[in-house]
């Protein structure tokens, strides 16, 4: 019987095929920072959970068709930057990351952006609405 095989190294998400609809890299040992600003415009599902990614989380330029993004169980430790979220987005998982209790809302209507973000993550990631801290078992 074979043991578990994990992929390692960094991941460049800026040069993915333009028609890519789903990408799952979960349950590996990928590391480094993740650039979410140039994802394919038709990407609906992105699963990067259970790796060793670090740095900030930028949810400012997600594709218009994005439905689900799972970043939980990594080593993200910086700020979570949130901008206008796609109307199609149903799930954001960011729990179990050693973030520094910082969520920064950017854009013209930060109150609306914050309200939408809290609605999306409060049930899926254990984000504490008062501190913005990433926690939980998801």
Given a cut of 90, whether residue 126 has pLDDT beyond it is no
Q: What is the DSSP string of 19-85?
A: T--EEE--SSEEEE----TT--TT--EEE--SSEE-S-EEESS--TT--EEE--SS---S-EEE-PP
Dihedral sign for Cα 115, 85, 69, 88, please. positive
Domains annotated on the chain, with CATH: 16-121 (3.80.10)
pTM for this entry = 0.85
d(CA 91, CA 123) in angstroms, rounded, equals 9
The burial of 90, by beta-carbon neighbours within 10 Å (0-12 exposed, 13-18 middle, 19 or more buried), is given as: exposed
pLDDT at 101: 64
Q: Express each pLDDT in 43-79 by its tens digit.
A: 999 999 999 999 999 999 999 999 999 999 999 998 9
Q: Express each pLDDT in 19-35 by its tens digit.
A: 999 999 999 999 999 99
């Amino acid at each position: 019987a074979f043991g578990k095989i994990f992929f390692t190294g960094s991941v460049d998400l800026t040069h993915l095929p333009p028609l890519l609809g789903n990408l799952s890299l979960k349950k590996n040992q990928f590391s480094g920072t993740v650039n979410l600003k140039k994802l394919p415009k038709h990407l609906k599902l992105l699963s990067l959970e259970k790796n060793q990614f670090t740095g900030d989380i930028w949810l400012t330029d997600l594709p218009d068709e994005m439905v689900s993004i799972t970043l939980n169980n990594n080593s993200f430790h910086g700020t979570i930057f949130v901008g206008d979220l796609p109307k199609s987005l149903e799930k954001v998982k960011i729990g179990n990351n050693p973030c520094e209790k910082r969520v920064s809302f950017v854009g013209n209507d930060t109150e609306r952006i914050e309200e939408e973000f809290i609605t999306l993550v409060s049930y899926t990631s254990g984000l504490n609405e008062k501190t913005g801290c990433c926690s939980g078992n998801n």
